[in-house]
Every structure is written in structure tokens, then in C-alpha cells.
Amino acid sequence: MSSSNFNPYTTRQSMIAPDYEVYRYRSAYMNEVELHHHDFYEIYLLLRGRVEYIVENQIYRVRPGDWMLISPLELHQARIATDADAYERIVLWIRRPYLESLSTPRTSLTRCFDTTVSGHTNLIRLPGTSGAQLRSTVERLCAAKAQQDYGSDLLAQGALMELLVGLNRAAADRADIHPAGTSDQVVDAVLHYINEHYSEPLTLDLLAEKFFISKYHLLRKFDAQVGTTVHRYILQKRLLNAKQLLAGGVLPNEVCQYCGFGDYANFYRAFKSEYNQTPRQYVQSLRR
């Protein structure tokens, strides 16, 4: 595969297109991308390399040919082995309203992302023939999306729908794939506590004292399992829930109280630093 088939890598984590975007990347070396979340669906196919993929507090060891399905607002991060000779992947981003518009009353294309479905896992690993068919479909999608000739947009959309049907079927039929490794009981308890109490004052000292663990050991265990610091995770959870409240029509100066920021100035600074726009600008972008 020639280098011309790959897109220049960008650190951008927001969508430009109103419907979907697909990229094929090759990297000889990558700095680690921080734990983050999106407002859209992400489909990730590993082509080459060794990767650990963290989704919330689960760690998946991803093999070439594996698919990762990430729902909107799920915190996630790819950890790439730096001693691998190359890191190649296909990344597909789909806006939620667009994917819902492609669905029908009989066929929901968002089902494979639904974390409430029994047996849900973010990783799909397919046997040879089935895996090759889906790989061929996403290759056709990439090719059609890159073209500008007559009908290429419809061919791309057709390949996209075929891919989503295939992934949903695979998600419904998949074998039970468990996350790699064992999670730490203390970290699991801390995560549960943060998710239940993010609107309240939370500090490393408070959590260490509550769960009878030293701050040093909590930091080390937390980073190993979750992929970020305790402070960063709390901030991400608060901002994630703030976006949901803003999208639901809650006023920005009220959101800061519900999400544990204390006052609007702290909320404003954190939101703008994370998303490069103010809370009110985010609300305006939703209306557009």
C-alpha cells in the first residue's frame, strides 16, 4: 500500500463534516493522545501495530483486524507500543443524528454502540472470512469517499451502510470478549464513587482517605488502569456531564453548580480550555 493512500495525521478531535469522516493513518511514532471523549460515534480498525485501548475503566489488547466501537461521551484512549515498526489504522467518525437518520424502525444502526445491551463490549474480533469482508467494505468506503466523480458520494454512503449493518450483525453474534487483564478493586470503587459524586467537592486527598490507600498508590494504580490522573478524570467527567446538560437546555450558569465546578468562572475556564469554545458558543453550535 503506497503512502499516498494514507491521510496526514491530525490531532484534531472534532468533526468538520456534517455527516461522517473517514481517515486512514500510518505513523512511525506517535505521542500518546490523552484520555478524551467525542460527541459522535467512532469506529476504529487496527491494521498494523500493537495497541492497548482504554475505554472508561476497561483495557482491551487490540490485534490487527480488530474493530473498536466507541459511543458518544465514552472516555477513551489508545496506547501504542513504541517498539512496533509502524502503526496503521482506519478511523471513522459519524455524527449521531446522521447515523440515526440512516436507521429504520426495523434496523437500528446505533445498536452496536449501545452500552446497555447485555454482553456489550467495545471490541469486535471476527474470524477470517467475516473479517476480510468487513475490511473490504471499509476499503471501498475509503476509496469512494476520496473520489469526486459522479455517484461517488452515493457509493460511499452505500459502503458506509453496508459496513454498519455488518458491524451490528457481528456485535449481535460475537463471542464473549473480555477486557484484558484484571481491574483493581480499589480503582473500580474510586471510579464508581467519582461517577456518583462528581457534582460534589472531590480531591485526591479525600479519595485516598475514603478508600484507605496512600495518594501515591492511588495515583499509580489509577493511571495504570484508566490511563490518566485522578484530577484529569474528574475534570473529564464533569465536562462530559456539563455538555449533556447544556445540550438538554440547562443554562450555563446553572450547569456549573450541577457539575461540581463551584462557580461559573472555573467552569468557563475549564470548558474553554478543553473544547476551545465557551459554554455559550457550544450551545449556539448545537442550535446551528
Residues 60, 203, single domain; the answer is no
Residues 150, 61, single domain; the answer is yes
CA distance 105 to 111: 12
- CATH code at position 9: 2.60.120.280
Q: Which residues span the domain enclosing 247? A: 185-287
Residue 203: all three cell numbers together = 480531591
58 pLDDT exceeds 70? yes
Residues 148, 17, single domain; the answer is yes
What value does the mean pLDDT take over residues 28-56? 85
The whole-number pLDDT of residue 108 equals: 95
Residues 47, 157, single domain; the answer is yes
Last residue of a domain, one of 173, 201, 217: 173
The whole-number pLDDT of residue 34 equals: 80
Report DSSP letters for 84-124, one per residue: SS-EEEEEEEE-HHHHHHH--SS--TTGGG-TTSTT--SEE
The whole-number pLDDT of residue 100 equals: 95
* pLDDT higher at 83 or 215: 215
Phi/psi class of residue 166: alpha, beta or left (left: φ > 0; alpha: ψ in -120 to 50)?
alpha
Q: Structural domain tally of the chain?
A: 2
The whole-number pLDDT of residue 165 equals: 97
Last residue of a domain, one of 173, 206, 240: 173
Residue 2: band (very low, low, confident or very high) from pLDDT cuts 50, 70, 90: very low
3-state secondary structure of 23: strand
Cβ 146 vs Cβ 44: under 8 Å: no
CA distance 37 to 236: 8
Residues 93, 235, single domain; the answer is no
Residues 18, 83, single domain; the answer is yes
The whole-number pLDDT of residue 177 equals: 57
3-state secondary structure of 281: helix
Residues 112, 214, single domain; the answer is no
What value does the mean pLDDT take over residues 192-215? 92
Residues 74, 154, single domain; the answer is yes
The whole-number pLDDT of residue 32 equals: 66
Last residue of a domain, one of 122, 138, 173: 173
What value does the mean pLDDT take over residues 47-53? 90
Residues 11, 149, single domain; the answer is yes
Residues 58, 97, single domain; the answer is yes
In the chain, % of residues over pLDDT 70: 93
Cβ 52 vs Cβ 61: under 8 Å: yes
Residues 164, 218, single domain; the answer is no
What value does the mean pLDDT take over residues 155-181? 83
Exposed / middle / buried, residue 278 (Cβ in 10 Å: 0-12, 13-18, 19+):
middle
1 pLDDT exceeds 70? no
Weakest-pLDDT range from 20-34, 40-54, 90-104, 236-250: 20-34
| pLDDT, mean over the chain | 88
Residues 159, 192, single domain; the answer is no
